[in-house]
Structure 1
Amino acid sequence: MIYLICSVVISSLLFVIFKLFDIYKVHTLPAIVLNYAVALSFGFVHSEASITIADIPDQPWFLGAFILGFLFITVFNVMGITAQKNGLSVASVAGKMSVVIPVLIGIFLYNESIGLVKVVGIILALIAVYLSSAKSDTSPVQFKNLLFPLLLFLGSGSIDTLLKYTETTYVPKEAVPMFLSTIFGCALLFGLCYFVAKFVRKKNSFEWKTLFWGIALGIPNYYSMEFLLKALQTKGLESSIVFTINNVSIVILTTVFALAFFKEKLIKKNWIGIGLAIISILLVVSA
């Protein structure tokens, strides 16, 4: 249970750090690229598997790690933009509602059971993302306010699905740090290519404060993933229970951070959305 608690706290801090990027005017992309360099190094330090770098492309989990690397750098950027433009609570709800995507994948690809409770939970999740993105209680949500939360919802769900499948199917317990390192390394390569392209066109720049914030983001980013995987491997804790506690707790804790430290103001629709988010997660994973 200690791994799960650590995962919740550290994952919530990631949203806070992204919000601080906006406050301290940190360039998101170079900080994210640096964050993956830090996470990569931590993975190598913690690795117990006797695998050399040259052997990594031959591992059965490499393709999954490569795709996850691309998704990580992309979704992390979307998470940062969502936290800055829409607020911590919106980013948290959009990211954590993604638990319905692996459920849907399981239903259609693996013929897992589906019932009324699960269907209701999925519908409530979609409504929750919509309501949590609202800026007014009287006017409908504009597409520009819904775009990034929806992208975060879809991207996070894709990561959860592929991460769980690859880890369960191909990754032995001792290879988890190396698996994570490979994901972070691929994300770093994709991020460097994108950053260099923008830097050459003078659409991005590097400031020394970015180094600090890249490290500040990279350390919790690595441990949030390691603790979550260790929680999933804990005997006596089913994955549905882990994901329930993890996702609901992050939504609640991130909302507390938003209200307490950043004085974010939530309208009635936002509160309803957060409430539906918690209910939907409980329904989906308990059905």
Structure 2
Amino acid sequence: MHYLLLAVFCSVAVSVLLKIARKKNILIEQAIAFNYIVALSLAYFLLKPNFNGLGFTDFIVQSEHSPIFFALGILLPTVFIIMSKAVEYAGIVRSDAAQRLSLFLPILAAFLLFGEQLNQSRLIGIILAFSALFCLISKPTQQMEQGRFKGIISLLLVWLGYGVIDILFKQTAKMGAAFSTTLFISFVLAACVMFMYLLFKKTRWTTPSLLGGILLGGLNFMNILFYIKAHQSFSENPTLVFAGMNVGVICLGTITGALLFKEKISKINGLGVCLGISSILCLFYFDKLFG
């Protein structure tokens, strides 16, 4: 359980960093690019990826895991870019809701692809988790800022993208020791995609963005590492990890927002925090006792 809690903490820390980035003159896209350099460096030195005696290029071509690290390498930065567009076209509230409700896809995959059995405690936990999410994302909304069609498409892509990434991380966790190599290559590909995107935009590089990217890279690496470790620890109960991560992040994020940034928590948001905690208890403790 501690891996899941650490993953939630690191994820919220990333959100806090992104929230204060503009005040510190940090350009988010540049920080994300530098973040992948730090993440792949940490993956190389701490996880010591094994290329089975092959060169980097040969391993990419011959590895049976190629589809997974290619998909992650492209999706990780691409979904971030799409998320920024969704915020522009549809607003922060709707974009955040689309990201959190992507939980539906990995939970569906847990039963259809990963063979998890649906019992009473898990069913109750899932219902509580989705109820919590709807309560926690319930905030006043405004009209979509630009282009209704672009807003709808971007939200759909955010929902689909984050859902698929969660499923791919679960697949990565199933690789055992090979996950370190897959994670390293995914970060390399993600860095290439992000830097090519910024060079295409002819971005002007800044020192604060570099420093912010270094901190972001450390937190992001630990977030992904602990998330995969949590999947390995609860290999028979992926729903706990999928729901625990999503609900845990938004519960802790809501509380952090209130304490650090004086964001208001409505009664329905407070109810969502309680339901979220209840869903995790149901998925973990009750499942152990009665599952």
TM bin (shorter chain): 0.7 to 0.9
1:53 positional shift: 1.7
The answer to whether the 8 A contact 2:73-2:189 is kept is yes
1:279 positional shift: 7.1
In structure 1, how many angstroms separate the alpha carbons of the residues matched to 2:128 and 2:240? 21
Q: Which runs of 5+ in 2 are unaligned?
A: none
TM-score where L is the length of structure 1: 0.76
Structure-2 change in CA distance of 1:5 and 1:284 (3 Å): closer
Structure-2 change in CA distance of 1:30 and 1:235 (3 Å): closer
2:21 corresponding residue in structure 1:
21
The answer to whether the 8 A contact 2:30-2:198 is kept is yes
Superposition pairs for residues 135-154 of structure 1, below 5 Å? 135=140, 142-144=143-145, 151-154=157-160
Structure 1 window deviating more from structure 2 (26-35 vs 41-50): it is: 41-50
- Secondary structure of the residue aligned to 2:201 is helix
- Secondary structure of the residue aligned to 1:233 is helix
1:209 positional shift: 0.5
Q: Residues 106-158 of structure 1, C-alpha deviation per residue, up to 9 Å, x if partnerless?
A: 5666897779995995798499459726325xxxx534597566544332111
Structure 1 window deviating more from structure 2 (120-129 vs 264-273): it is: 120-129
In structure 1, how many angstroms separate the alpha carbons of the residues matched to 2:112 and 2:236? 25
Identity value in percent: 28
2:36 corresponding residue in structure 1:
36
Q: Residues 166-199 of structure 1, C-alpha deviation per residue, up to 9 Å, x if partnerless?
A: 542xx2x222222111111111111111111101
In structure 1, how many angstroms separate the alpha carbons of the residues matched to 2:191 and 2:125? 39
User: Number of residue pairs matched?
Assistant: 274
TM-score where L is the length of structure 2: 0.75
Structure-2 change in CA distance of 1:74 and 1:272 (3 Å): farther
In the alignment, structure 1 residue 242 sits paired with structure 2 residue 241: yes
- Secondary structure of the residue aligned to 1:97 is helix
2:193 corresponding residue in structure 1:
190
In structure 2, how many angstroms separate the alpha carbons of the residues matched to 1:80 and 1:126? 26
Q: Cα RMSD over matched residues?
A: 3.9
Q: Which runs of 5+ in 1 are unaligned?
A: none
Structure 1 window deviating more from structure 2 (116-125 vs 38-47): it is: 116-125
Q: Residues 242-272 of structure 1, C-alpha deviation per residue, up to 9 Å, x if partnerless?
A: 3343332222111111111112234566556
In structure 1, how many angstroms separate the alpha carbons of the residues matched to 2:85 and 2:25? 12
In the alignment, structure 1 residue 99 sits paired with structure 2 residue 103: yes
